[in-house]
Structure 1
Amino acid sequence: MKFLNPLRQAVLLKRYKRFLADVQLVNGEVITIHCPNTGAMTGCAESGMKIWMSDSSNPKRKYRYTWELAQTNNGDMICVNTHRANQLAGEALDSNIVPALSDLANLVAERKYGYDNRRIDWCAEDAVGQTVFIEVKSVTLAEGAQGFFPDTVSKRAVDHLRSLQDMKSDGHRAVVLYVVMHEGIKNVQAAHHLDAKYAAMAAQAEAFGVEFYALSCDISEHGITPTGLLPMNK
Protein backbone atom coordinates (compact mmCIF):
# COMPACT_ATOMS: atom_id res chain seq x y z
CA MET A 1 0.00 0.00 0.00
CA LYS A 2 1.49 3.29 -1.13
CA PHE A 3 0.26 6.64 0.15
CA LEU A 4 -1.19 8.41 -2.86
CA ASN A 5 0.16 11.80 -1.82
CA PRO A 6 3.19 12.65 0.33
CA LEU A 7 2.44 12.64 4.04
CA ARG A 8 3.05 15.78 6.05
CA GLN A 9 5.20 15.60 9.18
CA ALA A 10 4.33 17.17 12.54
CA VAL A 11 4.84 16.72 16.28
CA LEU A 12 1.99 15.41 18.44
CA LEU A 13 0.86 17.71 21.24
CA LYS A 14 -2.14 15.74 22.50
CA ARG A 15 -4.87 13.35 21.43
CA TYR A 16 -8.33 13.91 22.90
CA LYS A 17 -12.05 13.16 22.46
CA ARG A 18 -10.93 9.95 20.73
CA PHE A 19 -11.16 11.43 17.23
CA LEU A 20 -9.05 14.59 17.57
CA ALA A 21 -5.38 15.44 17.97
CA ASP A 22 -3.50 18.71 18.21
CA VAL A 23 -0.17 18.78 16.36
CA GLN A 24 2.55 21.31 15.69
CA LEU A 25 3.73 21.72 12.12
CA VAL A 26 7.34 22.25 11.12
CA ASN A 27 6.67 25.99 10.79
CA GLY A 28 5.40 26.14 14.39
CA GLU A 29 1.69 26.40 13.55
CA VAL A 30 -0.64 24.33 15.76
CA ILE A 31 -3.61 22.64 14.08
CA THR A 32 -6.25 20.05 14.96
CA ILE A 33 -6.40 16.87 12.88
CA HIS A 34 -8.66 13.80 12.67
CA CYS A 35 -7.60 10.69 14.62
CA PRO A 36 -8.95 7.56 12.88
CA ASN A 37 -8.46 5.27 15.89
CA THR A 38 -11.02 4.66 18.64
CA GLY A 39 -8.75 2.50 20.80
CA ALA A 40 -6.68 3.39 23.84
CA MET A 41 -3.61 3.96 21.60
CA THR A 42 -1.30 3.13 24.52
CA GLY A 43 2.27 3.97 23.56
CA CYS A 44 1.16 5.37 20.21
CA ALA A 45 -0.01 8.85 21.19
CA GLU A 46 2.60 10.28 23.53
CA SER A 47 3.17 14.02 23.55
CA GLY A 48 6.26 14.93 21.55
CA MET A 49 6.05 11.99 19.17
CA LYS A 50 6.91 12.58 15.54
CA ILE A 51 3.80 11.87 13.44
CA TRP A 52 2.73 11.93 9.78
CA MET A 53 -0.67 12.89 8.41
CA SER A 54 -2.45 12.64 5.07
CA ASP A 55 -4.06 15.61 3.36
CA SER A 56 -7.67 15.19 2.20
CA SER A 57 -7.37 18.32 0.00
CA ASN A 58 -11.07 18.74 0.73
CA PRO A 59 -11.95 22.32 1.77
CA LYS A 60 -15.36 21.15 3.03
CA ARG A 61 -13.87 18.85 5.65
CA LYS A 62 -13.79 20.30 9.15
CA TYR A 63 -10.41 18.66 9.77
CA ARG A 64 -8.37 18.62 6.59
CA TYR A 65 -5.65 16.24 7.80
CA THR A 66 -5.85 12.62 9.00
CA TRP A 67 -3.29 11.12 11.36
CA GLU A 68 -1.61 8.13 9.69
CA LEU A 69 1.73 7.28 11.38
CA ALA A 70 3.66 7.80 14.58
CA GLN A 71 7.24 7.03 15.55
CA THR A 72 8.44 5.85 18.95
CA ASN A 73 11.54 7.23 20.66
CA ASN A 74 13.55 4.21 19.52
CA GLY A 75 12.52 4.67 15.90
CA ASP A 76 9.78 2.06 15.51
CA MET A 77 7.09 3.15 13.08
CA ILE A 78 3.40 2.69 13.91
CA CYS A 79 0.35 3.01 11.69
CA VAL A 80 -2.40 4.45 13.90
CA ASN A 81 -5.03 4.55 11.15
CA THR A 82 -6.92 1.33 11.83
CA HIS A 83 -8.78 1.64 8.52
CA ARG A 84 -5.54 0.68 6.75
CA ALA A 85 -5.57 -2.83 8.27
CA ASN A 86 -8.26 -4.22 5.94
CA GLN A 87 -6.47 -2.90 2.88
CA LEU A 88 -3.18 -4.44 4.01
CA ALA A 89 -4.90 -7.74 4.75
CA GLY A 90 -6.35 -7.76 1.25
CA GLU A 91 -2.93 -7.12 -0.27
CA ALA A 92 -1.41 -9.92 1.81
CA LEU A 93 -4.15 -12.36 0.78
CA ASP A 94 -3.72 -11.41 -2.88
CA SER A 95 0.05 -11.89 -2.58
CA ASN A 96 -0.20 -15.30 -0.86
CA ILE A 97 1.88 -14.10 2.09
CA VAL A 98 -0.09 -16.21 4.57
CA PRO A 99 0.72 -19.85 3.63
CA ALA A 100 -2.47 -21.33 5.11
CA LEU A 101 -4.50 -18.85 3.04
CA SER A 102 -2.45 -18.99 -0.16
CA ASP A 103 -5.03 -20.92 -2.18
CA LEU A 104 -7.92 -18.48 -1.85
CA ALA A 105 -10.06 -17.37 -4.77
CA ASN A 106 -13.00 -15.00 -5.25
CA LEU A 107 -11.87 -12.67 -2.48
CA VAL A 108 -14.64 -10.26 -1.48
CA ALA A 109 -14.58 -7.48 1.13
CA GLU A 110 -17.31 -6.60 3.64
CA ARG A 111 -19.62 -9.57 3.12
CA LYS A 112 -22.68 -9.89 5.37
CA TYR A 113 -23.24 -13.11 7.27
CA GLY A 114 -25.66 -14.63 9.77
CA TYR A 115 -28.98 -13.74 11.31
CA ASP A 116 -27.81 -10.27 12.32
CA ASN A 117 -26.15 -9.47 8.97
CA ARG A 118 -22.81 -8.93 10.66
CA ARG A 119 -20.14 -7.77 8.23
CA ILE A 120 -17.02 -9.89 7.91
CA ASP A 121 -13.91 -8.11 6.63
CA TRP A 122 -12.97 -10.61 3.91
CA CYS A 123 -14.60 -13.69 2.41
CA ALA A 124 -13.15 -16.15 -0.10
CA GLU A 125 -13.13 -19.79 -1.21
CA ASP A 126 -10.24 -22.18 -0.70
CA ALA A 127 -8.98 -24.87 -3.09
CA VAL A 128 -11.55 -27.43 -1.94
CA GLY A 129 -14.46 -24.99 -2.29
CA GLN A 130 -14.84 -24.22 1.39
CA THR A 131 -15.94 -20.70 2.27
CA VAL A 132 -13.35 -18.82 4.33
CA PHE A 133 -14.41 -15.91 6.53
CA ILE A 134 -11.60 -13.60 7.70
CA GLU A 135 -11.89 -11.06 10.52
CA VAL A 136 -9.09 -8.45 10.52
CA LYS A 137 -7.75 -6.85 13.70
CA SER A 138 -5.19 -4.02 13.92
CA VAL A 139 -2.48 -4.54 16.56
CA THR A 140 -0.50 -1.56 17.89
CA LEU A 141 -0.11 -2.26 21.62
CA ALA A 142 3.51 -3.18 22.34
CA GLU A 143 5.01 -4.13 25.69
CA GLY A 144 8.63 -4.57 24.70
CA ALA A 145 8.56 -6.82 21.64
CA GLN A 146 5.29 -8.44 22.71
CA GLY A 147 2.17 -7.29 20.90
CA PHE A 148 -1.28 -7.53 22.43
CA PHE A 149 -4.88 -7.35 21.20
CA PRO A 150 -7.10 -5.64 22.19
CA ASP A 151 -5.58 -2.54 23.79
CA THR A 152 -8.66 -2.04 25.99
CA VAL A 153 -11.84 -3.95 26.85
CA SER A 154 -13.69 -4.70 23.60
CA LYS A 155 -17.14 -6.29 23.69
CA ARG A 156 -17.27 -5.90 19.91
CA ALA A 157 -14.15 -8.05 19.48
CA VAL A 158 -15.65 -10.74 21.72
CA ASP A 159 -18.84 -10.70 19.63
CA HIS A 160 -16.76 -11.13 16.49
CA LEU A 161 -15.18 -14.28 17.95
CA ARG A 162 -18.65 -15.67 18.72
CA SER A 163 -19.68 -15.02 15.10
CA LEU A 164 -16.58 -16.80 13.83
CA GLN A 165 -17.45 -19.84 15.94
CA ASP A 166 -20.94 -19.78 14.40
CA MET A 167 -19.36 -19.77 10.95
CA LYS A 168 -17.19 -22.72 11.92
CA SER A 169 -20.29 -24.56 13.22
CA ASP A 170 -21.95 -23.97 9.85
CA GLY A 171 -19.10 -25.82 8.14
CA HIS A 172 -16.99 -22.88 6.97
CA ARG A 173 -13.44 -21.88 7.75
CA ALA A 174 -13.13 -18.95 10.15
CA VAL A 175 -9.97 -16.86 10.55
CA VAL A 176 -8.69 -14.01 12.72
CA LEU A 177 -5.91 -12.11 10.94
CA TYR A 178 -4.02 -9.74 13.23
CA VAL A 179 -2.38 -7.03 11.13
CA VAL A 180 0.57 -5.82 13.20
CA MET A 181 0.91 -2.08 12.66
CA HIS A 182 3.89 -1.52 15.01
CA GLU A 183 7.38 -2.38 13.80
CA GLY A 184 8.60 -3.10 17.33
CA ILE A 185 6.20 -6.03 17.80
CA LYS A 186 7.72 -9.48 17.20
CA ASN A 187 5.04 -11.74 18.78
CA VAL A 188 1.28 -11.42 19.25
CA GLN A 189 -1.09 -12.73 21.89
CA ALA A 190 -4.49 -11.97 23.41
CA ALA A 191 -4.30 -9.26 26.07
CA HIS A 192 -5.26 -11.32 29.13
CA HIS A 193 -4.32 -8.44 31.42
CA LEU A 194 -6.58 -5.93 29.66
CA ASP A 195 -9.56 -7.97 28.47
CA ALA A 196 -9.82 -11.37 30.15
CA LYS A 197 -13.13 -12.11 28.38
CA TYR A 198 -11.55 -11.63 24.97
CA ALA A 199 -8.56 -13.79 25.89
CA ALA A 200 -10.82 -16.58 27.15
CA MET A 201 -13.02 -16.36 24.07
CA ALA A 202 -9.97 -16.42 21.78
CA ALA A 203 -8.73 -19.61 23.47
CA GLN A 204 -12.19 -21.14 23.14
CA ALA A 205 -12.46 -20.13 19.48
CA GLU A 206 -9.04 -21.60 18.66
CA ALA A 207 -9.98 -24.87 20.37
CA PHE A 208 -13.19 -24.81 18.30
CA GLY A 209 -11.17 -24.59 15.09
CA VAL A 210 -10.99 -20.86 14.38
CA GLU A 211 -7.59 -20.06 12.82
CA PHE A 212 -5.37 -17.26 14.12
CA TYR A 213 -2.50 -15.60 12.22
CA ALA A 214 -0.41 -12.46 12.77
CA LEU A 215 0.86 -10.44 9.80
CA SER A 216 3.96 -8.25 10.03
CA CYS A 217 4.38 -5.03 8.04
CA ASP A 218 7.16 -2.66 6.99
CA ILE A 219 5.98 0.89 7.66
CA SER A 220 7.34 4.16 6.27
CA GLU A 221 6.07 7.59 5.33
CA HIS A 222 5.89 6.36 1.73
CA GLY A 223 3.73 3.30 2.31
CA ILE A 224 3.10 0.07 4.21
CA THR A 225 4.04 -3.40 2.97
CA PRO A 226 2.86 -6.75 4.41
CA THR A 227 5.96 -8.93 4.82
CA GLY A 228 5.15 -12.25 6.50
CA LEU A 229 3.91 -13.99 9.63
CA LEU A 230 4.82 -13.40 13.27
CA PRO A 231 4.61 -16.02 16.03
CA MET A 232 1.41 -16.29 18.04
CA ASN A 233 1.96 -16.73 21.80
CA LYS A 234 -0.60 -18.38 24.09
Structure 2
Amino acid sequence: MKGFSLNQATTKRWPLEDLVAGCVKAGVPAVGLWREEVAEYGLDKAAALVRDAGLEVSSLCRSGFFQLPDWRDSNRQAIDEAHALGTDTLVLVSGGLPEGSRDIDGARRHIGDAIGELVPYAKAAGVRLAIEALHPMFCSDRCVVATLGQALQLAAPYPADTVGVVIDTYHLWWDDQVWRLIEVAGREGRIHSFQLADWITPLPEGVLLGRGLPGTGSVDMRRFATAVREAGYEGYVEVEVFHEDVWSRPGAEVLDEAYAGYRAAVE
Protein backbone atom coordinates (compact mmCIF):
# COMPACT_ATOMS: atom_id res chain seq x y z
CA MET A 1 0.00 0.00 0.00
CA LYS A 2 1.13 3.55 -0.70
CA GLY A 3 0.65 4.81 2.84
CA PHE A 4 -1.56 7.03 4.95
CA SER A 5 -3.98 9.64 3.63
CA LEU A 6 -5.96 12.04 5.79
CA ASN A 7 -9.53 12.34 4.58
CA GLN A 8 -10.69 15.93 4.92
CA ALA A 9 -13.86 14.87 6.72
CA THR A 10 -11.83 13.75 9.74
CA THR A 11 -10.70 17.32 10.43
CA LYS A 12 -13.83 18.94 9.04
CA ARG A 13 -13.31 22.32 10.73
CA TRP A 14 -9.59 22.58 9.90
CA PRO A 15 -9.21 25.07 7.05
CA LEU A 16 -7.84 23.51 3.89
CA GLU A 17 -4.65 25.57 3.92
CA ASP A 18 -3.95 24.47 7.50
CA LEU A 19 -4.77 20.86 6.68
CA VAL A 20 -2.34 20.86 3.77
CA ALA A 21 0.38 22.53 5.83
CA GLY A 22 -0.22 20.07 8.68
CA CYS A 23 0.09 17.07 6.37
CA VAL A 24 3.32 18.40 4.88
CA LYS A 25 4.75 19.01 8.34
CA ALA A 26 3.79 15.49 9.49
CA GLY A 27 5.15 13.84 6.36
CA VAL A 28 1.71 12.68 5.22
CA PRO A 29 1.80 12.11 1.44
CA ALA A 30 -1.87 12.41 0.50
CA VAL A 31 -5.27 13.84 1.34
CA GLY A 32 -8.82 12.80 0.53
CA LEU A 33 -10.93 15.82 -0.38
CA TRP A 34 -14.64 16.63 -0.21
CA ARG A 35 -16.51 18.43 -2.94
CA GLU A 36 -18.33 20.91 -0.69
CA GLU A 37 -15.17 22.13 0.99
CA VAL A 38 -13.30 22.26 -2.31
CA ALA A 39 -16.08 24.32 -3.89
CA GLU A 40 -16.06 26.73 -0.96
CA TYR A 41 -12.30 27.20 -1.26
CA GLY A 42 -12.33 27.26 -5.07
CA LEU A 43 -11.63 24.27 -7.30
CA ASP A 44 -8.64 25.65 -9.20
CA LYS A 45 -7.21 27.24 -6.07
CA ALA A 46 -7.53 23.98 -4.13
CA ALA A 47 -5.92 21.98 -6.92
CA ALA A 48 -2.97 24.39 -7.00
CA LEU A 49 -2.63 24.40 -3.20
CA VAL A 50 -2.39 20.62 -2.96
CA ARG A 51 -0.21 20.26 -6.04
CA ASP A 52 2.24 22.95 -4.94
CA ALA A 53 2.53 21.28 -1.53
CA GLY A 54 3.58 18.04 -3.19
CA LEU A 55 0.56 16.10 -1.93
CA GLU A 56 -1.50 13.58 -3.85
CA VAL A 57 -5.30 13.52 -3.73
CA SER A 58 -6.22 9.95 -2.85
CA SER A 59 -9.93 10.41 -3.59
CA LEU A 60 -12.71 12.94 -4.00
CA CYS A 61 -15.85 12.45 -1.95
CA ARG A 62 -18.56 12.27 -3.02
CA SER A 63 -21.01 11.99 -5.84
CA GLY A 64 -23.82 9.59 -6.71
CA PHE A 65 -27.24 10.29 -5.15
CA PHE A 66 -28.90 8.85 -8.21
CA GLN A 67 -32.42 9.32 -6.84
CA LEU A 68 -32.16 13.07 -7.51
CA PRO A 69 -33.45 14.56 -10.78
CA ASP A 70 -30.11 16.20 -11.65
CA TRP A 71 -27.95 13.12 -11.13
CA ARG A 72 -26.50 13.19 -14.65
CA ASP A 73 -25.24 16.74 -14.54
CA SER A 74 -24.07 16.60 -10.93
CA ASN A 75 -22.09 13.40 -11.44
CA ARG A 76 -20.47 14.66 -14.63
CA GLN A 77 -19.49 17.80 -12.77
CA ALA A 78 -17.99 15.66 -9.99
CA ILE A 79 -15.95 13.72 -12.55
CA ASP A 80 -14.66 17.01 -13.94
CA GLU A 81 -13.73 18.14 -10.42
CA ALA A 82 -11.86 14.91 -9.70
CA HIS A 83 -9.90 15.31 -12.93
CA ALA A 84 -9.06 18.93 -12.08
CA LEU A 85 -7.80 17.90 -8.64
CA GLY A 86 -5.58 15.22 -10.11
CA THR A 87 -7.23 12.25 -8.44
CA ASP A 88 -8.24 9.10 -10.27
CA THR A 89 -10.89 8.08 -7.70
CA LEU A 90 -14.38 9.52 -7.23
CA VAL A 91 -16.39 7.97 -4.40
CA LEU A 92 -20.04 7.24 -5.21
CA VAL A 93 -22.71 7.11 -2.51
CA SER A 94 -25.73 5.79 -4.33
CA GLY A 95 -28.48 7.72 -2.57
CA GLY A 96 -31.60 6.41 -0.92
CA LEU A 97 -35.09 5.66 -2.13
CA PRO A 98 -36.78 8.18 -4.43
CA GLU A 99 -39.32 10.30 -2.57
CA GLY A 100 -42.49 8.32 -1.91
CA SER A 101 -41.01 5.03 -3.14
CA ARG A 102 -40.59 1.69 -1.36
CA ASP A 103 -39.10 -0.06 -4.39
CA ILE A 104 -35.56 -0.75 -3.20
CA ASP A 105 -34.88 -3.28 -5.96
CA GLY A 106 -35.90 -0.75 -8.58
CA ALA A 107 -33.67 1.87 -6.96
CA ARG A 108 -30.68 -0.46 -7.20
CA ARG A 109 -31.41 -1.28 -10.84
CA HIS A 110 -31.55 2.44 -11.61
CA ILE A 111 -28.17 2.97 -9.94
CA GLY A 112 -26.59 0.28 -12.08
CA ASP A 113 -28.00 1.81 -15.25
CA ALA A 114 -26.95 5.32 -14.17
CA ILE A 115 -23.38 4.22 -13.49
CA GLY A 116 -23.32 2.67 -16.95
CA GLU A 117 -24.26 6.02 -18.47
CA LEU A 118 -21.35 7.67 -16.65
CA VAL A 119 -18.70 5.11 -17.58
CA PRO A 120 -17.66 6.59 -20.96
CA TYR A 121 -17.41 10.09 -19.48
CA ALA A 122 -15.40 8.90 -16.48
CA LYS A 123 -13.10 6.75 -18.63
CA ALA A 124 -12.35 9.69 -20.92
CA ALA A 125 -11.43 11.79 -17.88
CA GLY A 126 -9.22 9.09 -16.35
CA VAL A 127 -11.45 8.90 -13.27
CA ARG A 128 -12.52 5.68 -11.56
CA LEU A 129 -16.00 5.42 -10.04
CA ALA A 130 -15.71 3.81 -6.60
CA ILE A 131 -19.04 2.52 -5.29
CA GLU A 132 -19.29 2.74 -1.51
CA ALA A 133 -21.63 0.45 0.39
CA LEU A 134 -23.03 2.07 3.55
CA HIS A 135 -24.34 0.34 6.66
CA PRO A 136 -27.93 -0.91 6.15
CA MET A 137 -29.32 1.69 8.58
CA PHE A 138 -28.74 4.28 5.83
CA CYS A 139 -30.72 2.50 3.10
CA SER A 140 -33.84 4.63 3.12
CA ASP A 141 -32.36 8.09 2.79
CA ARG A 142 -28.67 7.86 1.96
CA CYS A 143 -27.53 4.65 0.27
CA VAL A 144 -29.54 1.63 -0.91
CA VAL A 145 -26.23 -0.16 -1.54
CA ALA A 146 -25.75 -1.84 1.84
CA THR A 147 -23.23 -4.62 1.29
CA LEU A 148 -19.96 -5.14 -0.54
CA GLY A 149 -21.69 -7.87 -2.52
CA GLN A 150 -24.29 -5.42 -3.81
CA ALA A 151 -21.57 -2.93 -4.74
CA LEU A 152 -19.67 -5.60 -6.66
CA GLN A 153 -22.84 -6.66 -8.49
CA LEU A 154 -23.39 -3.07 -9.61
CA ALA A 155 -19.78 -2.77 -10.76
CA ALA A 156 -19.64 -6.15 -12.53
CA PRO A 157 -20.98 -5.13 -15.97
CA TYR A 158 -18.36 -2.42 -16.38
CA PRO A 159 -14.56 -2.36 -16.81
CA ALA A 160 -12.69 -2.80 -13.53
CA ASP A 161 -10.34 0.06 -14.37
CA THR A 162 -13.32 2.44 -14.40
CA VAL A 163 -15.84 1.04 -11.89
CA GLY A 164 -14.86 -0.47 -8.55
CA VAL A 165 -15.66 -0.36 -4.85
CA VAL A 166 -14.67 1.27 -1.59
CA ILE A 167 -13.75 -0.88 1.40
CA ASP A 168 -14.86 1.19 4.41
CA THR A 169 -14.37 -0.56 7.74
CA TYR A 170 -17.12 1.39 9.50
CA HIS A 171 -19.76 0.28 7.01
CA LEU A 172 -18.63 -3.30 6.37
CA TRP A 173 -17.24 -4.68 9.65
CA TRP A 174 -20.51 -6.41 10.64
CA ASP A 175 -20.85 -8.54 7.47
CA ASP A 176 -19.58 -12.12 7.71
CA GLN A 177 -19.27 -12.27 3.90
CA VAL A 178 -16.91 -9.33 3.68
CA TRP A 179 -13.67 -11.35 3.86
CA ARG A 180 -14.62 -13.56 0.93
CA LEU A 181 -15.84 -10.57 -1.04
CA ILE A 182 -12.65 -8.60 -0.44
CA GLU A 183 -10.81 -11.51 -2.08
CA VAL A 184 -13.25 -11.39 -5.01
CA ALA A 185 -12.88 -7.63 -5.36
CA GLY A 186 -9.11 -7.98 -5.34
CA ARG A 187 -9.08 -10.70 -7.99
CA GLU A 188 -11.24 -8.50 -10.20
CA GLY A 189 -9.06 -5.44 -9.62
CA ARG A 190 -12.00 -3.50 -8.24
CA ILE A 191 -10.72 -2.21 -4.87
CA HIS A 192 -10.34 1.48 -5.65
CA SER A 193 -10.31 2.92 -2.13
CA PHE A 194 -9.73 1.71 1.43
CA GLN A 195 -10.98 3.76 4.38
CA LEU A 196 -10.54 3.28 8.12
CA ALA A 197 -13.06 4.38 10.73
CA ASP A 198 -14.11 2.64 13.91
CA TRP A 199 -17.58 1.72 15.19
CA ILE A 200 -18.17 3.26 18.60
CA THR A 201 -21.07 2.82 20.98
CA PRO A 202 -23.34 4.17 22.21
CA LEU A 203 -24.16 5.79 18.89
CA PRO A 204 -24.77 9.52 19.10
CA GLU A 205 -28.20 10.97 18.34
CA GLY A 206 -26.96 11.92 14.89
CA VAL A 207 -26.14 8.36 13.84
CA LEU A 208 -24.14 9.48 10.82
CA LEU A 209 -21.64 11.07 13.21
CA GLY A 210 -20.91 7.86 15.10
CA ARG A 211 -17.49 7.04 13.67
CA GLY A 212 -14.39 6.83 15.81
CA LEU A 213 -10.71 7.16 15.04
CA PRO A 214 -9.02 3.81 14.35
CA GLY A 215 -8.49 1.82 17.53
CA THR A 216 -11.26 3.47 19.57
CA GLY A 217 -14.10 1.04 18.84
CA SER A 218 -15.19 -2.46 17.85
CA VAL A 219 -13.60 -2.98 14.43
CA ASP A 220 -10.64 -5.29 13.86
CA MET A 221 -8.69 -2.82 11.73
CA ARG A 222 -5.65 -5.04 11.28
CA ARG A 223 -7.76 -7.88 9.90
CA PHE A 224 -9.22 -5.52 7.31
CA ALA A 225 -5.82 -4.09 6.40
CA THR A 226 -4.36 -7.57 6.03
CA ALA A 227 -7.28 -8.76 3.89
CA VAL A 228 -7.12 -5.74 1.60
CA ARG A 229 -3.34 -5.98 1.23
CA GLU A 230 -3.51 -9.71 0.46
CA ALA A 231 -6.21 -8.96 -2.12
CA GLY A 232 -3.65 -6.86 -3.98
CA TYR A 233 -4.66 -3.32 -3.05
CA GLU A 234 -1.76 -0.93 -3.55
CA GLY A 235 -3.38 2.46 -3.00
CA TYR A 236 -3.59 4.86 -0.08
CA VAL A 237 -5.32 4.08 3.21
CA GLU A 238 -7.61 6.94 4.19
CA VAL A 239 -8.79 7.67 7.71
CA GLU A 240 -12.29 9.11 7.36
CA VAL A 241 -14.14 9.89 10.59
CA PHE A 242 -17.36 11.81 11.28
CA HIS A 243 -17.81 12.77 14.93
CA GLU A 244 -18.49 16.07 16.64
CA ASP A 245 -16.00 15.32 19.40
CA VAL A 246 -13.27 14.71 16.83
CA TRP A 247 -14.18 17.79 14.82
CA SER A 248 -14.04 19.99 17.92
CA ARG A 249 -10.39 19.12 18.59
CA PRO A 250 -7.35 20.84 17.05
CA GLY A 251 -6.68 19.52 13.57
CA ALA A 252 -3.02 18.73 14.20
CA GLU A 253 -3.93 16.69 17.26
CA VAL A 254 -6.52 14.68 15.31
CA LEU A 255 -4.05 14.16 12.47
CA ASP A 256 -1.49 12.72 14.88
CA GLU A 257 -4.02 10.32 16.40
CA ALA A 258 -5.38 9.28 13.00
CA TYR A 259 -1.84 8.59 11.79
CA ALA A 260 -1.10 6.52 14.90
CA GLY A 261 -4.29 4.52 14.36
CA TYR A 262 -3.28 3.88 10.76
CA ARG A 263 0.18 2.68 11.80
CA ALA A 264 -1.25 0.33 14.42
CA ALA A 265 -3.54 -1.24 11.86
CA VAL A 266 -1.42 -1.27 8.72
CA GLU A 267 2.29 -1.17 9.47
Higher relative contact order (CA 8 A, sep 6+): 2
Asked if these proteins are the same fold (TM beyond 0.5), I'd say no
- The TM-score by the shorter chain falls in which range? 0.3 to 0.5
Flag the structure with higher helix content: 2
Q: TM-score by structure 2 length?
A: 0.30
